[in-house]
Amino acid sequence: MKTFIVDAMLGKLATWLRLTGHDAFYSTKAHDDELLRIALEQDRVLLTSDAILSRRAEEVGVECMLVRGSVDDEVASVFSKYGISPDADPSKSRCTKCNGSLTHLKEEEKERIKNLVPEQTYNHYTDFWFCEYCKSVFFHGGQWTNINAYMNRIAQLIKELET
Ligand SMILES: [Zn+2]
């Protein structure tokens, strides 16, 4: 599976890659030289909206895609090019905040995150996903309805791109 490095302008794209289980390095602080160095060292595909950076990437042998358009266009074009299925599933996702991999906590383990979520949330859900790196907690709550709706929209756009 390809891994990615995403420039600072494309934060939403990084989030959608992570939600669909892809390793996407993203930092708002990394400058161009650093992005190119990390892409080379870790064999990551660079996604950027900056034509100059894209040319530099080509010169140093970094695989790169120049991503343009609205957020929806960005997501659909990258997913289409790299064969990414618009299917966000918490059991496959990476942490949207730090790109860490998530640990699934079953009901008997969920006490570990008791102090990290509101009591109501804790009592209502049985399955939680926990990022060991930044201690973020994810659960299959109402936000997944929106996530799934957006993924359906992206699926439609991909279909349009590919016909
Ligand atoms: Zn995290």
Tens digits of residue pLDDT in 73-114: 999 999 999 999 999 988 889 999 999 999 999 888 999 999
Ranges of the chain with pLDDT below 70: none
Q: What is the pLDDT of residue 144?
A: 84
Going from the Cα of 138 to the center of ligand 1, the distance in angstroms, rounded, reads 10
Give 28 Cα–ligand 1 centroid separation in angstroms. Answer: 16
Same domain, 42 and 22: yes
If asked whether residues 84 and 153 sit together in one domain, one would say: yes
Per the structure, how many domains does the chain have?
2
Residues whose CB falls within 8 Å of the CB of residue 157, separated by 6 or more in sequence, listed in order: 72, 73, 75, 76
Is the residue at 96 inside a domain? no
For residue 142, the CA-to-ligand 1 centroid distance in Å is 20
- Size of the chain in residues: 163
| Domain boundaries, position 37 | 4-90+143-161
CATH of the domain at 50: 3.40.50
Residue 95 lies in a domain: no
Q: How far does residue 101's CA lie from ligand 1's centre (Å)?
A: 7
Give Cα separations from 84 to 21, 51, 63, 118, 139 (angstroms): 10, 24, 17, 34, 23
Give residue 56 CA to ligand 1 midpoint distance, Å. 30
